[in-house]
Structure 1
């Protein structure tokens, strides 16, 4: 496997403190790896309708949803979100390629925590093709359903992945349980074990501010009330924060009316 850790940073903003700390941890706990940043200067985001639309909307995180798979398919190596801070040498894991890690709150296989593959991996290819077949939409309901975690997990389920928080071997892959790369508990705390390789600090610095509110609510509340209720609460707080009490309330009722008309429960 190519000894490169890939990460994405679109939008041209300075790296956050979280990002700088993560990069320092990669240098320390991933010895011998090159770290490569992908951005609008070296990645052709305009070649895919999804990433082109996300970039035009200024939603940089959604550009990276496609970019990570495209880069991994072509080059192989490791991908991590810039919020993944390593606290332990990951060299022993290099004997178990391909592998990824499970997020506790959603029970999804999560590339943002870590994914390591050889070039031209068929699962990664399927994810690339999925994004290349979709048009991007800024509609929050659409973005709730078409998440990078769900796209990746759906492809892994086809070869035996189960949405349970346990170490799994399937179809040649290894999925590590949440204590390895996502040891969260409570409101932002970390339950670090001897098996823990990293903690995930999501700064959300490249996400549009109103979406940042929702992401924060989902991340912190999911362990207590579940992901779906957290998404609903996050959407309500997002709309109220962005539009104020009057406009935000109108937007919320508009969403409810639309869902009732479509026969959806929530």
Structure 2
């Protein structure tokens, strides 16, 4: 079973904003018998590999966190959440999983939404090895969504937005469980939703004009709904073939 430990990452040494402190307190209220641990420079060796050392030297804390979360869960087991995730329910129902991740769109898995697993999981080990053999480039950095989604697709991850159990007992939750509100706006929290990732869009420059912002929104929405279109086209194609 997954241990009763919740991890989050906070590198850089700055004080946490009040809203983040309150959010973590809410995690504890929902899970009173869980240990909550902050991953930081004191308990994670940022020099453990060239990738994290370079990202840390450039102050790219999010990219250090991408690796640290994998390493900590691999070594200890437990749950990880980004600090902008609101928990809606206790986590006990997830503890039976060997390893789980969640989708933020039908074709993309995001470890920041929340993931968890038992220690010494083979898939986590493989993901860590990818970073160990990679070079950090702040101009074209690895995105954790690309790394993890790519590896999961190798073992059968599909674009169907449904609950999947992949080889190795890797459970993938569909968007409504951990990302019921879309990163581009809209969506709906369901009765079974476990968490909500509060996308702030901080990566979008405030200097962009209206046309650029509209263009970005169109791209985000297209990327989200394109898998639905592919799935429906395949269904129609299969129906046509089977009806011959």
Structure 2 length as normaliser, TM-score? 0.80
Match of 1:84 in 2: 85
Matches within 5 A, 1:128-143: 128-139=128-139, 142-143=140-141
Per the TM alignment, residue 87 of structure 1 is displaced from its structure 2 partner at its CA by: 1.1
Match of 1:157 in 2: 153
Match of 2:120 in 1: 120
**Distance in 2 (alpha carbons) for counterparts of 1:189 and 1:12:** 34
**Distance in 1 (alpha carbons) for counterparts of 2:183 and 2:114:** 22
Per the TM alignment, residue 77 of structure 1 is displaced from its structure 2 partner at its CA by: 0.8
SS of aligned partner of 1:96: coil
Q: Mean Cα displacement is larger for which, 40-49 or 106-115? A: 106-115
**Which of the numbers 163, 170, 174 marks the counterpart of 1:173?**
170
Q: Which runs of 4+ in 1 moved over 3 A?
A: 185-190, 211-214, 217-223
Instruction: Point out where structure 1 has 5 or more consecutive residues left out of the alignment.
Output: 228-266
**Distance in 1 (alpha carbons) for counterparts of 2:185 and 2:216:** 8
Cα distance change of structure 1 residues 18 and 126 upon mapping to structure 2, 3 Å threshold: farther
**Distance in 1 (alpha carbons) for counterparts of 2:73 and 2:115:** 9
Cα distance change of structure 1 residues 63 and 29 upon mapping to structure 2, 3 Å threshold: same
Per the TM alignment, residue 223 of structure 1 is displaced from its structure 2 partner at its CA by: 4.7
Per the TM alignment, residue 213 of structure 1 is displaced from its structure 2 partner at its CA by: 3.2
SS of aligned partner of 1:10: coil
**Distance in 2 (alpha carbons) for counterparts of 1:219 and 1:8:** 28
SS of aligned partner of 1:95: coil
Match of 2:240 in 1: none
Per the TM alignment, residue 9 of structure 1 is displaced from its structure 2 partner at its CA by: 0.4
Encode CA deviations 1:178-232: one digit per residue, 9 max, x unaligned. Answer: 000001148544511111111111458xxxx7x4639xx79966552437xxxxx
Encode CA deviations 1:19-65: one digit per residue, 9 max, x unaligned. Answer: 22320221122342111001112210012111111111111101111
